Structure 1
Amino acid sequence: MDIIRDVLDNQLVDHNQRKMGKVDGIVMELRDGEAPRLTYIEVGVTTLARRLHPNLADWVAAIATKWGAKHSQPFRIPFSKVRDVGIDVEVDLEAEATPALAYEKWLRDRIIQRIPGE
């Protein structure tokens, strides 16, 4: 499996095929004398911002916290929870039971809901 091509930026879905966002980051464990081991996939706007610039992630987390977001840090999913990697990355979790959708819910409640006509 080509981790970057097959996992990073792919659609993440729960065991009910409910979309949970995109895979924003990959966390690997480096071990002396052994191959790296994939430990987590990360979901969250701060991980995406970190890919652009490390300081941007801190800024995004601070702004989100200031504006009332409950989960400004990325959500880590153990790679052991990954059921299938194909067009989508399917995990053995339920989207609503995780903080993976926290940013989307916050955005919906604080911004989108206040747009006239929406």
Structure 2
Amino acid sequence: MDIIRDVLDNQLVDRNQRNMGKVDGIVMELRDREPPRLAYIEVGVTTLARRINPRLAGWVAAIARTWGAKQSEPFRIPWSKVRDVGIDVEVDVDAQETPALAYEKWLSDRIITRIPGANHGE
């Protein structure tokens, strides 16, 4: 498996086939005298920003905290919870029980609902 091609930026779905966003990062564990091990996948706007520039990640996290986001840190899913890697990356977690959707909910509540003409779930 090519981790970058097959996992990074692919759609993440929970055990109920609900979208959880995209895989924004991959965390590997470096071990003495052993090959690296996949430890986590990360979901979160700060991880995505860190891929562009580490300073940008700090800025994004600070703005999210200032504007009242409850989850400014990335959410990590242990690699052991990955059930399948195909078109989507399927994980054995329930999206509703995780902070993975916190940023999207915050964005919807604070920004999208204030846009004139935006569909407010009607």
Once the 2 structures are TM-superposed, how far is the Cα of residue 110 of structure 1 from its aligned partner?
0.2
CA distance in 2, matches of 1:24, 1:103: 13
Summarize deviations over 1:51-75 as a string: whole Å, max 9, x none. Answer: 0011110000000000000000000
| 1:69 aligned partner, one-letter code | A
Aligned pairs for 1:7-22 within 5 A: 7-22=7-22
Structure 2, unmatched stretches of 5+, are none
CA distance in 1, matches of 2:97, 2:117: 30
Counterpart in the other structure of 2:101: 101
- Does residue 60 in structure 1 map to residue 60 in structure 2? yes
- Does residue 89 in structure 1 map to residue 107 in structure 2? no
Percent identical across equivalent pairs? 82
Counterpart in the other structure of 1:110: 110
Aligned pairs for 1:16-35 within 5 A: 16-35=16-35
Once the 2 structures are TM-superposed, how far is the Cα of residue 86 of structure 1 from its aligned partner?
0.3
After TM superposition, which residue ranges in structure 1, 4 or more long, deviate above 3 angstroms? none
- Does residue 43 in structure 1 map to residue 47 in structure 2? no
TM-score (norm 1): 0.98
Q: Root-mean-square deviation (CA), in Å?
A: 0.6
Residue 84 of structure 2 aligns to a residue in which SS? strand
| 2:57 aligned partner, one-letter code | A
| 2:104 aligned partner, one-letter code | E
TM-score (norm 2): 0.95
CA distance in 2, matches of 1:5, 1:34: 24
Counterpart in the other structure of 1:73: 73
